[in-house]
Amino acid sequence: MATLQETIDQIGTAFEEFKKTNDARLEAVKTGNESKATELGTKLDKVEKDVSQFSELKKKIELEQQVQKDRIEELEAKASSPGKTMQQKRRDEHKDLFIDWVRNKGENPVLSAQLTDLQKKMIEQKDITIGTGAAGGFAMPEEISREIGRLELLFSPVRRLVKVVTAGTSDYKELVSKRGTTSGWVGETGTRTATLTSQLRERAMTHGELYAYPQASEWSLDDIFFNVDAWLAEEVAEKFAVEEGIAVISGNGTSKPTGMINTAPVVTADFASPERSANAYQAVTSDLTPGGVAILADTLIDLLYTLNSAYRARAVWVFNSLTAAAIRKLKDTTNQYLWQPGLQLGQPERLLGFPVETWENMPNIGANLFPVAIGDWRRAYYLADRVGLRITRDNVTNVGFVRFYVRRREGGHVLDNHAAKFLQTL
């Protein structure tokens, strides 16, 4: 807690310094003192990095605290029911056997056979979703899979924002209402005619296999103090988070999810006739400020209120760090900064009153790009994990090292293209 409070205090101090420095820079620009403006601009860049770093640290600490809270609640629940169930014992045995298999430098047929038999029993009892023999790889233990998922949340906001489902088939589809229900007025004895009902739009995602291929030396696997499961979880989670973030934004749909801006957002309004493509979000266009260095404050307000109020209740801003640097400097007509840091426990950064997430895979500010978006992302986009994580070991390709081919089949697509708006800078 002390670390979190210290970080919050650092954010407040850094943000006050940021405002003071930026105000002085703007004054120097106004009075034509170019050398002073340049000097203050250099200082501002450093202060801005401090604000950003402290804010990201606060977010990570809060996420870690939530994870620890969940773990404590899980342990308390187990403590209230002494003794392990057969399911818990199987999962413990699964993890222990899995770690032995990972540490083994060669292909041990006995370990592989034991792991195969155990996973078959677990599949029958529905303890895991998939598991095959050595040729097809083994299912990751639930505890390690959960740790990978937790680290993915730390490395990327994608899975915190969009809708994530577990699908039993690659034919999984979602239905989205296009609205269209109509009504009418009638007197007591008037004739009632049928009104139109809402139409449903079927959304089918594109699929692929997301994989990572980390390797460890045989010496490290021999070392009993080498935490192999933690190493494996971190290596896989970081790679997965990066690749998934890219795919969700700009994936072309070929053996991967179809990204949000794979079909470029267009200016056509919601429910216009003719309506825009189901794969295209609405764009709000904006000229850059002179020199193309930032975005106008008024255009962010326009973007926010183009989003239907039904979606604004859970709306979150997304953009990358370079865009964040430009937006942090913006003020409203009363000379107040649009961006406010979160200076309380659990309070996120806010822009125009709505939470902010830094999504590094968003485009930079530039001509005919889409650097800023806001929306209810659980309605706007969805991911489906086809099966659980699987792993295959390779101790042949690189002598002295063991490689681990970890993969997860998943898909993704635009869900409700009314639920998010993108800013297009011209």
Q: What was the pLDDT predicted at 137?
A: 67
In sign, the C-alpha dihedral spanning 162, 207, 146, 84 is positive
Q: Which CATH number covers residue 337?
A: 3.30.2320.10
Residues 121 and 248 in one domain: yes
Q: Which of 170, 171, 149 is nearest to 160 (CA)?
A: 149
Q: What was the pLDDT predicted at 196?
A: 54
| 3-state secondary structure at position 9 | helix
| 3-state secondary structure at position 32 | coil
Q: Is residue 334 part of a domain?
A: yes
Strands 369-375 and 420-425, how do they pair? antiparallel
* Residue 295 belongs to domain spanning: 282-382+416-425
Long-range contacts of 268-273 (CB under 8 A, 24+ apart): 270/308, 270/418, 271/179, 271/418
Q: Is residue 196 part of a domain?
A: no
Q: What was the pLDDT predicted at 423?
A: 95
Q: Is residue 184 part of a domain?
A: no
Crossing angle of helices 228-250 and 142-155, rounded to 10°: 50
Number of domains in the chain: 3
Q: Which CATH number covers residue 146?
A: 3.30.2400
On the 0-12 / 13-18 / 19+ scale of CB atoms within 10 A, 274 is exposed
Pairwise CA distance, residues 119 & 101, whole Å? 13
Q: What was the pLDDT predicted at 132?
A: 44
Residues 124 and 210 in one domain: yes
Pairwise CA distance, residues 293 & 369, whole Å? 14
Q: What was the pLDDT predicted at 383?
A: 93
| 3-state secondary structure at position 277 | coil
Q: Is residue 146 part of a domain?
A: yes
Residues 421 and 287 in one domain: yes
Residues 393 and 313 in one domain: no
Q: Is residue 18 part of a domain?
A: yes
Q: Is residue 130 part of a domain?
A: yes
Residues 212 and 347 in one domain: no
Q: How many helices (H) and strands (E) does the chain have?
A: 12, 16
- Enter the tokens of residue 20: 């003071």
Residues 15 and 45 in one domain: yes
Tens-binned pLDDT, residue by residue, of the chain (426 aa): 457 778 878 888 888 888 888 888 888 888 888 888 888 888 888 888 888 887 877 777 777 777 677 667 666 666 665 556 656 676 777 777 778 777 776 666 777 777 777 777 666 655 555 544 444 567 777 778 888 887 887 788 888 899 998 887 777 778 787 665 556 787 777 777 766 555 677 888 899 999 999 988 888 888 877 888 888 888 899 899 999 999 999 999 999 999 999 999 999 999 888 889 999 999 999 866 555 556 888 899 999 999 999 999 999 999 998 899 889 888 888 888 888 887 766 677 899 999 999 899 999 988 889 999 999 999 999 999 877 788 888 888 888 888 889 999 999 999 999 999 999 987
Residues 123 and 37 in one domain: no
Residues 253 and 356 in one domain: no
Q: What was the pLDDT predicted at 210?
A: 93
Q: Is residue 326 part of a domain?
A: yes
Long-range contacts of 178-186 (CB under 8 A, 24+ apart): 179/271
Residues 401 and 307 in one domain: no
Residues 138 and 221 in one domain: yes
Q: What was the pLDDT predicted at 84?
A: 61
Examine the fold and report which residue of 35, 58, 76 is the final residue of a domain before the chain moves on: 76
Residues 391 and 355 in one domain: no
The model carries a pTM of 0.77
On the 0-12 / 13-18 / 19+ scale of CB atoms within 10 A, 130 is middle
φ and ψ at residue 216, rounded to 5 degrees = -130, 150
Q: Rounded to 10 degrees, what is the CA torsion of 134, 138, 144, 146?
A: 160
Pairwise CA distance, residues 42 & 420, whole Å? 35
Q: Which of 213, 116, 232 is nearest to 407 (CA)?
A: 213
Residues 377 and 388 in one domain: no
Q: Is residue 67 part of a domain?
A: yes
